[in-house]
Amino acid sequence: MIDGNGWIDVSVALTTGMVCYPGDPPVEIVRFADISKGAGATVSHISMSAHAGTHIDAPLHFFHGGRSIDFTPLPSIMGRARIIPINHTGPISRDELVAWGLTPGEIILLKTPNSKLWRNDAFSAGYAHLSVAAAAYAAEIGLTTIGIDYLSIGGFDDTGSEVHHILLEGSVCIVEGLDLSRVPIGACEFICLPLMLKGAEAAPARALVRPL
Ligand SMILES: [Zn+2]
């Protein structure tokens, strides 16, 4: 990745064996054909969960018959956004979100200590995530999108799926697996484009931020 024109790449690089959400299939990117081994061209074979690295969850992830990733509305994945700092791990409370004065239709990206966790080879269960009450507030106020800088917007406990349910039922787009370590707090432009996986519940995405 090479930043340019003010845009900062906030995607996580996909590599074989990278940290994944526990239980998900691993990322494997292998040379199916290799010019250094006599092939006419180098061709890679990719095998991975749709939830590896930077990705977007669609309602189908938790709702049978829900909208799939290929029907993600463009306004939810590109436009003006706001980077909000969270300076602790563990659950993020409703009051913390309320304090930032969120407004309907906003795209919010939570910059937490999680961004440092990408340096660890092993999964870290103690990441910052939305509490159930914070998720309910995000849905109630009508956020368009909420993004976070680790593998789940919900906790690695029994509240994790409830947080997803609340957000997806409330039509809040969920972006997970960002690396926000290099972006400043405040207003920005945001682009996050999921691969066009037909009928899938999620897709890997490339995400960029341009501070305003
Ligand atoms: Zn996901």
In tens, the pLDDT along 91-150 reads 999 999 999 999 999 999 999 999 999 999 999 999 999 999 999 999 999 999 999 999
Average pLDDT over residues 58-87: 96
Query: Where are the alpha helices (H) located in the chain, listed in sequence order?
Result: 94-99, 132-141, 160-169
pLDDT at residue 1, rounded to an integer: 60
- Rounded-to-integer distance, Cα 39 and Cα 45, Å: 14
- Does the structure show a pLDDT above 90 at 2? no
Q: How far is the CA of 151 from the centre of ligand 1 (A)?
A: 7
Q: How far is the CA of 37 from the centre of ligand 1 (A)?
A: 37
Query: Which residues, in sequence order, are CB contacts of 128 under 8 Å at separation 6+?
Result: 86, 88, 89, 90, 91, 92, 110, 112, 113, 114, 148, 150
- Rounded-to-integer distance, Cα 196 and Cα 64, Å: 20
- Kindly state the tokens that stand for 84: 């909000």
- Rounded-to-integer distance, Cα 20 and Cα 46, Å: 15
Q: How far is the CA of 55 from the centre of ligand 1 (A)?
A: 6
Quick one: what percent of the chain has pLDDT higher than 70?
99
Count, in order, helices (H) and strands (E) of the chain: 3, 12
- Rounded-to-integer distance, Cα 68 and Cα 61, Å: 8
- Rounded-to-integer distance, Cα 50 and Cα 38, Å: 32
Q: How far is the CA of 43 from the centre of ligand 1 (A)?
A: 27
Q: How far is the CA of 35 from the centre of ligand 1 (A)?
A: 35
Q: How far is the CA of 210 from the centre of ligand 1 (A)?
A: 24
Q: How far is the CA of 204 from the centre of ligand 1 (A)?
A: 9
Q: How far is the CA of 51 from the centre of ligand 1 (A)?
A: 5
Closest C-alpha among 157, 155, 142, 176 to residue 69: 176
Q: How far is the CA of 54 from the centre of ligand 1 (A)?
A: 9
Q: How far is the CA of 186 from the centre of ligand 1 (A)?
A: 25
- 79 burial type by CB count under 10 A (0-12 exposed, 13-18 middle, 19+ buried): middle
pTM of the model: 0.96
